[in-house]
Amino acid sequence: MRRALSILALIAAPLMGQAEEVVLGLSSDKVAITANFDGSDILVFGAVKREAPIPKEDLDVIVAIQGPSLPMTVRRKERRLGIWVNTEAVEVDAAPSFYSVATTRPLDQVLSNVEDLRHEVSIARAIRSVGSAGQAKDVQAFTDAVIRIKKANNTYSLHEGAVALDEQTLFRTSIALPSNLTEGDYVTRIFLTREGQVVSEYKTTIDVRKVGLERWLYTLSREQPMWYGLMSLAIAIAAGWLASAAFQVLRRG
């Protein structure tokens, strides 16, 4: 998959008339979620490979990491008869569970609106269009709310100026993956831009997986829910009995 993508990138690069392309390194392309997983920092670094001399305009780099997308329902509360109740709801058909963008300079200076629309880079563009029309009058307000809530709990973030670029060739940044990660493929995209135009794009994925006990429990709960439920109850009963027995021994002793 990854090889196919990089080949695609190689083919796509000359087609767009680009003389510059990204050579990328990642501190790790796998994140293992273990029982004591507490977030992870991924170092994204690389170089710009070019055959021609460096153009006059400044080069900028954008790094965007996106977690697996899931559908969700957004509800709005309104006051009815003096109490606050959920009234309208909008189905968002695909919003990434995690999204982080890092840039060399403020995003609006680095990327033009048209390019943002085409490549879906900024947070507002990364949320796929909100579900079927007619659910609510002001769908935009719901999308804004999603971004506001997700930014507040750090699952969406924009780090302007967090990418370091040396001699218009070497770049690096560190992206913090939070502890509440969802499993799946985290798509990592790197854009090289000049005067707001994307001159090169590179795409790879970081594999985020549960391992060991976490993996086993998760699989059991999905594939053998009956046994999983009985196991949970057995643990509960055993723990209840143990505590009772232990306290009795304590009282006697």
Partner 1 sequence: MQIYLPIAEVSVNAFLLLGLGGLVGVLSGMFGVGGGFLMTPLLFFIGIPPAVAVATEANQIVASSFSGVLAHLRRKTVDLRMGTVLLIGGLVGAAVGVVIFNYLKSLGQVDLLVKLCYVVFLGIIGAMMFVESLRAIRNTRRGAPPKRKKHGWVHKLPFKMRFRTSGLYISAIPPLIVGVCVGILAAIMGVGGGFIMVPAMIYILGMPTKVVVGTSLFQIIFVTGFTTMLHATTNYTVDVALAVLLLVGGVIGAQIGARIGVKMKAEQLRILLALMVLAVCFKLALDLLIMPGELYSIGAGGGH
Site string for partner 1, 166-185 (x = CB under 8 A): -------------xxxxx--
- Give the Å distances, CA to CA, from 10 to 50, 191, 214: 13, 14, 38
**Strand bridging mode 170-177 / 156-160:** unpaired
Instruction: Kindly tell me which residue out of 3, 56, 79, 252 binds partner 1, with binding defined by CB under 8 A.
Output: 79
Q: Which stretch binds partner 1 (CB under 8 A): 17-25, 56-64, 188-196, 226-234?
A: 226-234
Q: Which helix (H) or strand (E) holds 215?
A: helix 212-223
DSSP tag of 236: H
Q: Quick one: tokens of 21?
A: 């392309």
> For residues 176 and 165, what is the distance between their CA atoms, to the nearest angstrom?
19
Min CB(226)–partner 1 separation in Å: 6
Min CB(77)–partner 1 separation in Å: 5
Q: Quick one: tokens of 162?
A: 């967090």
> For residues 166 and 105, what is the distance between their CA atoms, to the nearest angstrom?
14
Binding of partner 1 by 221 (CB under 8 A): yes
Instruction: Kindly tell me which residue out of 167, 244, 249, 252 binds partner 1, with binding defined by CB under 8 A.
Output: 244
Instruction: Kindly tell me which residue out of 41, 91, 108, 195 binds partner 1, with binding defined by CB under 8 A.
Output: 91
First to last CA, the chain: 64
Query: Residue 208: which of 225, 230, 229, 187 has the closest Cα?
Result: 187
Binding of partner 1 by 149 (CB under 8 A): yes
Count of residues engaged in binding partner 1, rule: CB under 8 A: 64
Binding of partner 1 by 135 (CB under 8 A): no
Contacts of 79 (CB under 8 A, 6+ apart): none
Min CB(96)–partner 1 separation in Å: 13
> For residues 51 and 21, what is the distance between their CA atoms, to the nearest angstrom?
10
Min CB(41)–partner 1 separation in Å: 15
Q: Which stretch binds partner 1 (CB under 8 A): 47-55, 116-124, 157-165, 225-233?
A: 225-233
Query: Which positions lie near partner 1, rule CB under 8 A?
Result: 33-39, 70-79, 82-86, 91-93, 142, 145-146, 148-150, 153, 179-183, 210, 213-215, 217-218, 221-222, 225-226, 228-233, 235-237, 239-244, 247-248
